[in-house]
Structure 1
Amino acid sequence: MYSLGLRKDLWKGKGDLTLNADNPFSSYVKLTNDFDTGQSVSTNTTYVYNRGVRAAFSYRFGKLENKPSRPKRSIRNDDQKAGDSGNGQGGN
């Protein structure tokens, strides 16, 4: 099995056109299985048709620039007040 493909960039890289062909020079693959039990012989021949053509078009909208992502917020644990013992018990 084999494939061929072509791709053409359009509009300064904003779009492209792709054409792919699978097994363009053979119409099928022949698979043969022989099963011999000693008393009888069975032969199974299967033809797998797997020729195909695909076409695709893609277009990229917007600006074509990679900006660094903004920094993620960190979790701050500042709910404990200054001077508090932090043992979670109320009272004096």
Structure 2
Amino acid sequence: MSMKELKTVKKYLVANLKKRFIVPTTALFTSPILIAHNGAKLCFCVNFHKLNAISKYDQYLFLLIDELMDQLNEAKYFTKLNICQEFHRIHMSEESEDLTSL
């Protein structure tokens, strides 16, 4: 990795450890990290391809937009979420935490 890429990794780790979005681990399994080049900006990414290949997914039916709008028609209150911030607040079971180590 270049010095610029190493600085990107360190910046990501320090910031997210401080926010407790990530925590130190002693997991035996880890996923590789990638540095994506987005124009002049470097982005920290985790490659979860192997984990995704063995994951079991819950299946949910998506409502048709008309059905969804009918349900929302009588609503009085709506919540607006910033998905970028909420992504790091998704809770998972303790036994799954080691699988997401980086």
TM-score in terms of structure 2 length: 0.20
**Which of the pair has more CA radius of gyration?**
1
- Relative contact order, CA 8 A, sep 6+: which one is greater? 2
Structure richer in helix, relative to its length:
2
